[in-house]
Structure 1
Amino acid sequence: MRTDTQQIVRLEDYRPSDFLIDRVELDVKLHPTETKVVATVAMRPNPEGRPDAPLVLDGDELNLKAVALNGRPLSTDEFEVSPQSLTIAQAPRQPFTLTIETEINPTANTKLMGLYRSSGNYCTQCEAEGFRRITYFLDRPDIMAVYTTRIEADREDAPVLLGNGNPVESGTVDGSDRHFAVWHDPHPKPSYLFALVGGRLGRVSKTFTTMSGRAVDLAIYVEPGKESRADYALDALERSMRWDEKVFGREYDLDVFNIVAVSDFNMGAMENKGLNIFNDKYVLASPETATDMDYAHIEAIIAHEYFHNWTGNRVTCRDWFQLCLKEGLTVFRDQEFSSDERSRPVHRIAEVKTLRARQFLEDSSPLAHPVRPTQYREINNFYTATVYEKGAEIVRMLKTIIGEADFRRGMDLYFERCDGTAATVEDFLGAFADVTGRDLSHFARWYEQSGTPRVTVKGHHDPDAKTFRLDFEQGTPPTPGQPKKDAMAIPVALGLVAQDGTLANTACERLDSRGVFLFDKLTDSITFTDVTSRPVPSLFRGFSAPVKLSLDLPNEELLVLLRHDTDAFNRWQAAQTMAMRLLTALAKGIHADDRDIDALAGALCSFMARDALDDPAFAALVVTLPSEADVAQEIGQDVDPDAIHRARSQMRHRIGRSCAEPLQRFYDTLSDSGPYSPDAASAGRRSLRNACLDLLAAADPGTGEALAVRQLESASNMTDRLASLSVLTTLPGSVREEAIARFGDRYRNEPLVLDKWFTLQAAIPEDGTLERVTGLMQHPAFSISNPNRVRSLIGSFAMLNQVQFNRADGAGYRFLASIVLRVDELNPQLAARLLTAFSTWRMMESTRRSQAEQALRSIAQKPNLSRDVGDIVSRSLEEEQTK
């Protein structure tokens, strides 16, 4: 395998830059193929750097036109240049100014990093290392400077010109058809936060008044004609700003805050200072084109990128190993915001479902890594669930351990100390250690150790002594590079539920006032007193730590928790645990006791009758079985996706049939009425109604098909329309095919809706789906160069379709391998993300495992792989560290 430079970057090798940058003045003359960039950079030697070091600036596919030092043009024998670097061996040892002129081709930039064009508009993406595709620079996060950017373009080509910071000047260039705008950002920032936009854009706006009384102009720029679809995003931005002031005391610090929605984007969004650039799927929404989930994602991602203004921008990361410091912390903040805006228990369950589906899987794969990695080959590949979701869980555990008041005090101290700096995990934890007087070095292992800890708990009741003892044991499986693991500091929020459903009134001196026990040894025990009868333990309430729990409760006690636990998360978890036991037994060919299936079905029916209308969104989660991917992860080895699919289909049929009467009743009761609203209560009612429709169709395909067709024809919103089409995709036949065709024709001019259409078809778990996917690649709306289209069709097939992607004949694997190689030539980041679908290959049974390995090796043998793909494929094929 030959790839681009595969140099390994190690945390232990970090050293400060030999030079610093104080100010950057950029003059960017936009042109579709010949954009000229003049960067005037005020630099000085770093007192902490090497005294005789050369100045080495990063580049990536750059075309240098000229370079000058203190205004004097340099001759070619005074520097060395390549598309990847610019080196001045004899750089001054006092402050100096370097002026660099480069020329770039935005239209040809299919990598979507640096400056590129999307639907005719100019935009940038500079995280992690995209600024070096604009000009030669010290492109690292600990180099923070004040930026002034002058943008010039043909007025017809780009009437809107936006940059970081505040607008300071605009006008016409010498009476020509060209115009310019100057933007100044007074806050020092690293180059990855640089942004500019130029193009033909519509605008929605409003004024926000901060808690200190300053007026801030808020604006969202979208494709002309779609302005009304940005109203919800603008409202979410305003609510995010107000929430951050109230909960964290953080006020916005510029005169304007702009968001631009683009249709070609590798990520969800980017928090560039004062100028956030978004994938348009996380901005545009209307009842006709967006689902309730779309609205919730828009709200969360708008909040996430805004919250980065303090946790990421004002305080940034010293190096890319500290990525979790901005991303994990900001995910925690956006999760808290969404929990306050919506149902906290429902949102918590959704967070955990995502964590288990993505991060737990990552932890058990060849791609496992610590939340703060110790080394990387390609930093783009570490924007992972481990960094984001597990990073957020670490912050949540810290808050659980020290309490809400001390957590807020620690955050205030962190902002006070680190504002305007590039910080580390140690800086973050140090603020909380100083506030509380705690030694957090043990807790810091969460950042250092990869893998998901497994906590085994056994309960012992002594009726004579009236005590109940819980024995705890923890262990973390070996992961790549870390064969042996130390004990973790695990907060266990717990309670005891009596068999009759009352909360047991007991005492335990090891619990704090909030019912939290800090389990920080390999083994430990806690004892409750005054326990007259054996209780049911309710452990890790609210999912207080990202661990796998082994607690062998009988099904009868799980049903006690489902009926009576005051912790909503553990009520849901009880149903999931019982369902998972039955599903794994069926998938392994082990006879599942019909009485247990009937007991679960009966409990779900009772739950629906008693509690469903109190919180319909929660009820929808309770009656939804674990996914096929969840079951595969639970089995863990020699996985047969076909057997899992059959087991889950059988369970859905049994539960749907047993609960047919309440399912039909709730489906009818919750029928759509009144104008659409994306609020949590309305979304919850739709969620439960559509969960009922899914189970009714599983119980009786004929009835389900009729209901789904009727709902598809009468639905007044995309949520119900898409849910009915989703049900129809599970029911083969002409009705399904006609419905799919009509939907595609109806929305042929709506790319984001067609993405949903692609996804539904790619996920059909039937023979012929691979051929359907290859056929859809010829659809006029599909483009191999657009990340949203590729993710919706190819990514959905590989990530969601457990049966057809993991075909025993290897056709799914070979298909994805061919697509990865094709996309790698255009967009390495996108190709590498697709390749992570192979992360489960070692879990499969031997035939599939062999086929997957062959596909991976076919990629590895391809010459000239990008660093992104070369890194993923090499780690995927590395020998297991557990041997």
Structure 2
Amino acid sequence: MIATSQPSPPPTIHREDYRPPAFLVDSVDLHLALHPAATRVKARLALRRNPAAGPSGTLELDGEALTLLGLRLDGAPLPPDRVRHRADGGLSIDGVPEAFALDSEVEISPAANSELSGLYLSGGNYFTQCEAEGFRRITFFPDRPDVMARYTTTIEADRAACPVLLGNGNPDGAGELPDGRHWARWVDPHPKPSYLFAVVAGDLVAVRDRFTTRSGREVALAIYVRQGDEDACGHAMDSLKRSMAWDEQTYGLEYDLDVFNIAAVSDFNMGAMENKGLNVFNTKYILARPETATDADYEGIETVVSHEYFHNWTGNRVTCRDWFQLSLKEGLTVFRDQHFTADQGSAAVKRLWDVRRLRAAQFPEDAGPMAHPVRPDSYVEINNFYTATVYQKGAEVVRMMRSLIGEADFRRGMDLYIARHDNQAVTIEDFVQAMQDASGVDLARFRRWYAQAGTPELRVRDAFDESSGRYTLTLSQSTPPTPGQPEKLPVPIPVRMGLIGTDGTDGAESPGAATLLLEEAEQDFTFEGLPSKPVPSLLRGFSAPVKLSGLSLEQLGVLAAHDTDPFVRWDSGQQYAVAEMLRLVRDLRAQRPLELPEGLAANIAALLERATDDAAFTAEALALPSEDFVADQMPVADPDAVHAVRQFLRAAIGTRFAGAFAALHAELTDPGPYRIDGMAIGRRALRNACLSYLGRAEQGDGLLRAEAQFNTAGNMTDMLAALRVLADSDSPAREAALARFHATWKRDDLVLDKWFTIQAVSARTDTLQQVQALAGHLDFDLRNPNRVRALVGAFAAGNPAQFHHASGEGYRFLADTVIALDAVNTQVAARMVGPLGQWKRQDAARGTMMRAELQRILERPGLSKGTYEKVSKSLAA
């Protein structure tokens, strides 16, 4: 029994309970008179009864934190006895006709809106965030994605405070008003759900450009930022224009409005939002200068800008019927942005990045208390399901579908999907059916990927008959139980593979190269006429989001050295390193001396021999598996032992190969101005990987090199890499470098976030105390989601040894933060709960302390439903 002070648990929403809306909204005419504390919103809704929903005389409108000032039906005031105020803030209106106009006026306070959902103030400017259920904080409305309407929005505000007034769609007039105020009207010609509504108003400046579509239409582009940030928008604008061209070339999808506007804000719960014609972005994914942004920041901007633009068709023009279908737009669009980014540079390295992120975030989610299918069956708070499963695993499911039906049929399926469902709110079944109809491939069993939670485990066995040359590969699959799904059915798993000779000969051109389809719990695949037993190269390109096991260390060594598929070569090296790290953990527990495994050293040596052939790949392959990833391979995690082993290996590798690392570090110094092309990024990545190892070496000049690089760096990538090495150390230069960095960048919020994060993930033994102190720093702001993620999120999710400190103080620190946040921003608070939910993975003592902190959060009076859902599910797991 879970103890709770909640008067009653919040209701659970079930997918099977979906019913069509009783009323449809044909048009929305909004008038917003902006004021920090008392914004007035007038809304006229043209409603009609939905013939698909059956008879109903009651109109249900959602509302939250609204003060109702007036309500009229077809121009006449509504009698009080026909209007009921619901406990959740909404309204029920009885006795409405078949079709009618409803006028309402409400008052809201953007300045008091710390939730950053609905209309809120940030830095004196007005922004909206309406996904998933923020529009109900602006006006009364049937706030659900299957209610699509055409919007006309008039905004008025003080001209001095808000010279810029932006809305969805195309501009349709502007003018002056008395008392120094002015107005602007925006008309969106396309029907959209309320979650795509947007308004931005304030003292912003525009960086402008133009794009000519393939049909010859001119589109005006603008990115609106704070004054002084104009020179930091070039990469975002370039990414937008390349995204627009790529979507035309790859999918035949042309932009459909006269303008495309982006507004950047530093207070934002998420990365960005795809509102029709007016995207709102976290500044983190817009602003970039070489002196302030890292290579990863530039890559993140390209990814997020493309993602939000691609939503114009996969999310906006075709949207979700209900929130259970969220991956319909998010998984598909992540797949599209991954495809785009891969086309812009090294597809192989991009794939490694995507797999790293999936394994770091989604695999643990699949194994934890919040495990859910790509299409969930229920939720308490929908904001809790903007998850790695819906996004990243959803993208992998789309990728597998394309693999099964082929690229040409996938493109035909996309064309058919959009042609059938343009301007509709649809389901995942509609998308899969379009792919099936376009290809003729039966995808009935494939749909299980959308319905089952958990990460399938793929195990390999093999046998070779020397007399006949017959090689038999046996593949089996199983998926562990997850909450609410104890039994699992086999899923179709496409396994791209090749056969490698033990002498390193690639078998890609032999009869062994194929894509196998594992559909049953176990299947045999036979290959004839082979001269010797090969090594199977499996999951090339990471062809399915599964865990692979069964290969020996010897086989992994051959693949890491010789496979021509970059993913298998990298992954085999990672699996080899994990196996050796787990062996060293056992040695440490048995108090045996630790030694650098010679096989691992040989793998490093082989990488260094051809280090600059593909510098970006070498940098990825040199990195040891993360502590969390290694711990996930253990029946019970041991964060202290895993941390000690990883630190030992970093030092041992740095010492053994100090000469090679030092030579590479010198060789790869940037020869000129900062560039963000693939070659330059790869060279910096490899150079800084070398510096990281040198900084851990038991002797040598690694820390001196880091200090020199920090002092002379011409870009943030190199400066931050050097600072990271110093921050991990006991060098006297550490405190001076951190102080100098803070003094230089304390007025740049995004760079200051990096300062907080570097200290939060430091490997030093006093990091927990440092983080606790930083939470009281003058520059730490609990109301800013970026700053909370930079310190608290980075510490809890990125520093397992210190978060799992034996004292339990890391758990208490996170719980205290969640409790404080829940009173300020419930979405961010709920997202911070995750690390505590992994209590079952820890030893009994740590698990008990984690449960106690979860219980303490749950007992907090007035806990939000989002945080309640995360905590209660974590305790019940």
Q: TM-score, normalised by structure 1?
A: 0.97
Read off the aligned partner of 2:145 and give its amino acid letter.
P
Distance 1:630 1:76 in 2: 60
**1:64 partner SS:** strand
Aligned residues of 1:217 and 1:255 also touching (Cα < 8 A): yes
In structure 1, the residue matched to 2:445 is 442
In structure 2, the residue matched to 1:741 is 739
Q: Measure how far apart 1:53 and its partner are.
A: 4.1
In structure 1, the residue matched to 2:152 is 148
1:618 aligns with 2:622: no
Alignment of 1:690-705 (within 5 A): 690-700=688-698, 703-705=701-703
Among 486, 489, 498, the alignment partner of 1:483 is 486
Among 277, 282, 286, the alignment partner of 2:280 is 277
Q: Measure how far apart 1:633 and its partner are.
A: 1.0
Q: Measure how far apart 1:505 and its partner are.
A: 6.9
Distance 1:53 1:526, change over 3 A: farther
Among 85, 92, 96, the alignment partner of 2:96 is 92
Read off the aligned partner of 2:243 and give its amino acid letter.
S
Distance 1:642 1:368 in 2: 26
Structure 2 portions without partners, runs of 5+: none
In structure 1, the residue matched to 2:547 is 548
- Deviation per CA, 1:341-397, whole angstroms, max 9, x where unpaired? 121010000100000010000001111010000011110000000000000000000
**1:324 partner SS:** helix
Among 685, 688, 699, the alignment partner of 1:687 is 685
Alignment of 1:9-408 (within 5 A): 9-82=13-86, 84-174=88-178, 176-408=179-411
In structure 1, the residue matched to 2:579 is 581
In structure 2, the residue matched to 1:535 is 534
Distance 1:143 1:404 in 2: 33
Q: Measure how far apart 1:88 and its partner are.
A: 4.2
Distance 1:732 1:594 in 2: 23
In structure 2, the residue matched to 1:562 is 560
1:523 aligns with 2:527: no
In structure 2, the residue matched to 1:495 is 498
Distance 1:404 1:170 in 2: 47
Alignment of 1:860-871 (within 5 A): 860-871=858-869
Distance 1:873 1:775, change over 3 A: same
Read off the aligned partner of 2:249 and give its amino acid letter.
K
1:779 aligns with 2:777: yes
Segment drifting more, 705-714 vs 729-738: 729-738
Aligned residues of 1:467 and 1:532 also touching (Cα < 8 A): no
Distance 1:5 1:48, change over 3 A: farther
Distance 2:863 2:746 in 1: 35
Q: Measure how far apart 1:809 and its partner are.
A: 1.3
Distance 1:354 1:88 in 2: 45
Q: Measure how far apart 1:33 and its partner are.
A: 0.3
1:877 aligns with 2:875: yes
Read off the aligned partner of 2:338 and give its amino acid letter.
Q
Among 699, 707, 728, the alignment partner of 2:726 is 728
Distance 1:60 1:439 in 2: 45
Distance 2:508 2:196 in 1: 53
* Sequence identity (%): 51
Distance 1:493 1:839 in 2: 35
Q: Measure how far apart 1:130 and its partner are.
A: 0.3
Distance 1:100 1:83 in 2: 19
Read off the aligned partner of 2:286 and give its amino acid letter.
V
Distance 2:190 2:28 in 1: 12
Structure 1 portions without partners, runs of 5+: none
Read off the aligned partner of 1:419 and give its amino acid letter.
D
**1:484 partner SS:** coil
In structure 2, the residue matched to 1:597 is 597
Segment drifting more, 416-425 vs 838-847: 838-847
Distance 1:218 1:505, change over 3 A: closer
Distance 2:322 2:508 in 1: 50
Distance 1:151 1:5, change over 3 A: farther
**2:632 partner SS:** helix
Distance 2:380 2:57 in 1: 24
Aligned residues of 1:506 and 1:531 also touching (Cα < 8 A): no
- Deviation per CA, 1:762-810, whole angstroms, max 9, x where unpaired? 1123333222122222323211100011110111111111111111111
Q: Measure how far apart 1:589 and its partner are.
A: 3.3
Alignment of 1:743-758 (within 5 A): 743-758=741-756
Distance 2:310 2:490 in 1: 33
**2:370 partner SS:** coil
Among 432, 437, 453, the alignment partner of 2:435 is 432
CA-based RMSD of the aligned residues comes to: 1.5
- Deviation per CA, 1:113-148, whole angstroms, max 9, x where unpaired? 000001110000000000000001000000000000
Segment drifting more, 817-826 vs 585-594: 585-594
Read off the aligned partner of 1:263 and give its amino acid letter.
S
In structure 1, the residue matched to 2:765 is 767
Aligned residues of 1:63 and 1:83 also touching (Cα < 8 A): no
Distance 1:754 1:653 in 2: 29
Q: Measure how far apart 1:50 and its partner are.
A: 3.1
- Deviation per CA, 1:437-489, whole angstroms, max 9, x where unpaired? 12211000000000000011101011111011101111000000000000000
Distance 1:606 1:821 in 2: 50
Distance 1:595 1:867 in 2: 50
Distance 1:122 1:83, change over 3 A: farther
Q: TM-score, normalised by structure 2?
A: 0.98
Distance 1:498 1:770 in 2: 49
Distance 1:168 1:278 in 2: 24
Q: Measure how far apart 1:160 and its partner are.
A: 0.3
Q: Measure how far apart 1:701 and its partner are.
A: 5.7
**2:476 partner SS:** strand
Q: Measure how far apart 1:414 and its partner are.
A: 0.5
In structure 2, the residue matched to 1:627 is 626
Distance 1:284 1:776, change over 3 A: same
Read off the aligned partner of 1:409 and give its amino acid letter.
R
Distance 2:429 2:21 in 1: 20
Distance 1:233 1:241 in 2: 12
**2:446 partner SS:** coil
Read off the aligned partner of 2:37 and give its amino acid letter.
T
**2:42 partner SS:** strand
- Deviation per CA, 1:405-460, whole angstroms, max 9, x where unpaired? 11111111111111100010100000011112122110000000000000111010
Aligned residues of 1:458 and 1:471 also touching (Cα < 8 A): yes
In structure 1, the residue matched to 2:835 is 837
Distance 1:219 1:584 in 2: 52
Q: Measure how far apart 1:558 and its partner are.
A: 1.9
Segment drifting more, 72-81 vs 234-243: 72-81
Q: Measure how far apart 1:557 and its partner are.
A: 2.5
Aligned residues of 2:837 and 2:871 also touching (Cα < 8 A): no
Aligned residues of 1:164 and 1:195 also touching (Cα < 8 A): yes
**2:201 partner SS:** strand
Distance 1:770 1:140 in 2: 43
Aligned residues of 1:507 and 1:528 also touching (Cα < 8 A): no
Read off the aligned partner of 2:70 and give its amino acid letter.
A
Read off the aligned partner of 1:523 and give its amino acid letter.
E
